[in-house]
């Protein structure tokens, strides 16, 4: 597997950046007058689908989805490993409407941040972990009640391909207290779109959607057990994809 030529990657980022600026600018003027579901599709759904299409057309990045039949009819908590930007685009387009946790500083970016603010994100201060967890719990519960999917990357940051980070219990706790399942997702996007650098590789990204996992109750032990199940499923699925060695070195928090 060899890196794609620099000119193809540069073309991709030029087209992606130009489309983001134009779309966010357009959204800033039109989206506020739409209902939230339509606003989400207009701002995020359509553009993220374009980004995935562009990655396929310019970079040769395809996607193979397994387990689509496991997606429940009612929105719930999505918990996925995090390796690159690609899965953010993909999940935002696949599950609509959806909210996700992000750094509050991103909302201050002109046009891009303003557009994101209209998507009901869970904006947190990463320098204040306790307050961030409370915000995820309170805002996430409101979103779920309103029929919005909530995406959690429990590793907290992008982890290099071939590794798995500790899973925080925020996604499991949110699902348990909302009496909803966790929908586990695993992928190997980092193999083709590394978390650092501009280099990209053509190929087919595997996305696996697991069966919904439920907590037995709402107590701390129930949340911990659910988090252990989610971690074990993700670890095992990544191993089956060849994205992890058979003996992982880390465990859930």
pLDDT, one tens digit per residue, over 151-204 is 999 998 999 999 999 999 999 999 999 999 999 999 999 999 999 888 999 999
**pLDDT tens-digit profile of 102-141?**
888 888 877 677 778 888 999 888 778 788 888 889 999 9
Higher pLDDT, 169 or 253: 169
Beta carbons of 181 and 175 less than 8 angstroms apart: yes
Q: Does some domain include residue 245?
A: no
Q: Does some domain include residue 252?
A: no
* pLDDT band with cut points at 50, 70 and 90 for residue 248: very low
pLDDT at position 239: 97
CA distance 137 to 163: 27
> Is omega for the bond preceding 51 within 30 degrees of 0, making it cis?
no
pLDDT at position 124: 86
Using the predicted structure, report yes or no on whether residue 247 has a pLDDT greater than 70.
Answer: no
Give the closest residue to 75 by CA, choosing from 44, 89, 93, 96: 96
CATH of the domain at 51: 3.40.1130
Q: Does some domain include residue 247?
A: no
Q: Is 136 helix (H, G, I), strand (E, B) or coil?
A: helix
Query: Looking at residues 61-89, what average pLDDT do you find?
Result: 97
Residue 64: its H or E element? strand 61-66
Q: Does some domain include residue 1?
A: no
Give percent above pLDDT 70 in the chain: 96
Beta bridge partners of 204: 62
For residue 190, give the DSSP letter: G
- Identify the domain containing residue 203 by its residue range: 6-240
pLDDT at position 253: 58
Using the predicted structure, report yes or no on whether residue 75 has a pLDDT greater than 80.
Answer: yes
pLDDT at position 7: 96
Using the predicted structure, report yes or no on whether residue 246 has a pLDDT greater than 90.
Answer: no
pLDDT at position 177: 94
Q: Cβ neighbours of residue 188 under 8 Å, at least 6 residues apart?
A: 83, 161, 205, 206, 238, 241, 242, 243
Number of compact structural domains in the chain: 1
């Amino acid at each position: 597997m060899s890196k794609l030529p620099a000119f193809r990657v540069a073309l991709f980022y030029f087209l992606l950046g130009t489309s983001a600026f134009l779309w966010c600018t357009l959204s800033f003027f039109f989206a506020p007058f739409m209902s939230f579901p339509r606003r989400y599709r207009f701002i995020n759904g359509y553009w993220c689908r374009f980004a995935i299409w562009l990655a396929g057309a310019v970079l040769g990045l395809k996607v193979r989805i397994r387990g689509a039949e496991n997606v429940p009819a009612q929105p719930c908590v999505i918990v996925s490993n995090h390796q690159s930007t690609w899965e953010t685009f993909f999940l935002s387009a696949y599950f609509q409407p959806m909210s996700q946790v992000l750094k509050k500083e991103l909302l201050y970016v002109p046009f891009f941040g303003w557009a994101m603010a209209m998507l009901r994100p869970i904006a947190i201060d990463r320098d204040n972990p306790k307050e961030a967890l409370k915000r995820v719990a309170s805002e996430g519960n409101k979103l779920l009640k309103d029929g919005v999917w909530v995406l959690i990357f429990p590793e907290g940051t992008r982890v290099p391909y071939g590794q798995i980070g500790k899973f925080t219990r925020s996604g499991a706790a949110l699902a348990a207290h909302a009496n909803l399942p966790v929908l586990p997702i695993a992928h190997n996007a980092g193999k083709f779109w590394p978390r650092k650098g501009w280099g990209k590789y053509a190929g087919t990204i595997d996305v696996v959607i697991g069966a919904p996992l439920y907590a037995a109750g709402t107590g701390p032990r129930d949340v911990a057990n659910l988090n252990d199940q989610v971690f074990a499923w993700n670890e095992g699925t990544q191993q089956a994809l060849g994205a992890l060695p058979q003996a992982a070195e880390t465990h859930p928090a």
